[in-house]
Amino acid sequence: MERVTDDPRVAEAAAREGIKSFVSAPLISEGGVNGVLVVANRTERRFSRADAEFLRAMGGQLGMAIQNAILFERAERKNRELAALVTAGKAVTSSLNLDDVLSKSLDAVIEIAHVDATEVWLLEGQELALKCQRGVCREAFAERVRFPIGEGFPGIVAQTQTPMLVHNLASDPRLVRKRLVQVGFQTFCALPLRYQDRLVGVMAVAAFSPDALDRPGDVRLLEAIGERISVAIVNAELHGQVQDAATLHERERIAREMHDGMAQLLGYINTQSMAVKRLLANEQMADAHAELTKMEEITRDLYADVREGILGLRTAARANEGLLPALREYVQHYTDMSHVAVALRVSPDAEGMRPAPSVEIQLMRIIQEALTNVRKHARATSADVQFERLGSRMRVTIADNGQGFDTARSTALGWPRFGIQTMRERAESVGGTLSIETEHGRGTRVVVDLPVLQQEAIGQTS
């Protein structure tokens, strides 16, 4: 346009800027227009066809560049979202302990979503219970720790099972926890946590800025993280159930073992008493004396077994506090009772290994049986319990400096022997192996190899 005053559509604006002439070209890419290039002059000027062609070509180039930038920006956002999901995914699979998983995941959410605080509510019957809160202003969130379905933002989301996002928290009549506004939160977003079709809880995030979470895809990203958190919640639930089942199973087994062992011994004492009575009636004093001495030994052994059994049960009950602390205490009591000095050694590379709880239970019982054998049969003065790392497995060796034995003959006459066989079965039941190295006069080594699940410290309590 050589004289802008000729065109009423632009004349006024051009006059304000002092523009006399201009040429414009669309910015085109892939057939779409994503802008306009304008070249304006404060003098009157004739634009040639070549000028127009040049600008059209420029417009094409710029259009492409803009399109690329938009695509790049989109790809970048996708990358950020993927990275966020990976971070959240890592947090979610880092452990089977729910508190652990939730705090790590919620910390990741704060970082990823640029919010200031976040919380997770779990569904308990017809109510939501606050399970985990991370970020700032804890006390404001804890103003309420339970919501019936339908009340407050978490309760409403649990009812509608759809996300909600508000940027003007202060003026929202549905807000129950007024402290959130008092401490300055303006944006609040809550979304349902679902596993398959089941509601498991609600995740919420809050931010001081009224502009938080207003980019496209922000809420969708939170939902994607929420899906992973839901899986973690369900996993932790299942894991808890499995552990409960393992504990019950173990209790039943102990009860059966005790019953069988006791029943055998009491039966033995009963028949022996009758035999002794008969000997006394026949005035076979020396034989009666010999039988009574045998009984005395056996009852003394039984007494030691029962004490050790009770100690073992107490230790098993404490095993969820961590294998090593429980084992240390066991070894201490065992040394007091048996007068065999036991040293517990953990090699540095084994420090970071943590077997699954089911493996820990079996390992604990294997160590106990091996040490019981040391007390009963080895005539040892000392023993070692050693933890080592063997690639991705853990090796535990229980070694004594006693008399050793002939493994081929250990199943010889007398009482039925269950100890070694049960130890082996225990190891195999959790994917491990057990072997015994022994020689007369050279002590005994019970070697257990076990799989390890998590790379955490065996000594740590979770």
* Residue ranges in contact with ligand ATP by CB under 6 A: 373-374, 376-378, 400, 402-405, 410, 417-420, 444
Query: What is the Cα–Cα distance from 259 to 265, expressed in whole angstroms?
Result: 10
| Alpha helices by DSSP H, 282-356 | 285-317, 323-338
Does residue 419 bind Mg ion (CB under 5 A)? yes
Question: 3-state DSSP call for residue 344?
Answer: strand
Edge-to-edge strand order for the sheet containing 187-195? Answer: 146-148, 127-135, 117-124, 198-207, 187-195, 164-166
338 near Mg ion, judged by CB under 5 A: no
Minimum CB distance to ligand ATP, residue 422 (Å): 7
> Among 227-235, 279-287, 412-420, 449-457, which window interacts with Mg ion (CB under 5 A)?
412-420
Q: Which of ligand ATP, Mg ion, none interacts with 374 (beta carbon under 5 to 8 A by kind)?
A: ligand ATP
CB of 376 to ligand ATP, least distance (A): 6
Q: Are 159 and 149 in contact (CB under 8 A)?
A: yes
* Nearer Cβ to ligand ATP (400/456): 400
DSSP track, 109-127 = HHHHHT-SEEEEEEEETTE
What is residue 424's three-state secondary structure? Answer: helix
User: Quick one: which segment of 7-15, 18-26, 313-321, 373-381 binds Mg ion (CB under 5 A)?
Assistant: 373-381
Residue 358 or 373: the one with the smaller Cβ distance to Mg ion is: 373
From 90-98, 120-128, 145-153, 413-421, give the range in contact with Mg ion by CB under 5 A: 413-421
- State which H helix or E strand residue 37 sits in: strand 32-41
For residue 372, the minimal CB distance to Mg ion (Å) is 6
Closest CA to 168 of 152, 186, 189: 186
The residue (of 290 and 310) whose beta carbon lies closer to Mg ion is 310
Q: Which does 405 bind (CB under 5 to 8 A by kind): ligand ATP, Mg ion, none?
A: ligand ATP
Distance CA 135, CA 399 (A): 50
- Binders of Mg ion among residues 40 to 99 (CB under 5 A) are none
Nearest to ligand ATP of 133, 373 (CB atom) = 373
Which of 95, 187, 373, 401 contacts Mg ion by CB under 5 A?
Answer: 373
Rg (CA), the chain: 38
- The set of residues, in sequence order, having a beta carbon less than 8 Å from that of 68 and lying 6+ positions away, is none
How far is residue 86 CA from its own chain's centroid?
Answer: 16
Query: What does the binding site for Mg ion look like in residue numbers (CB under 5 A)?
Result: 373, 419
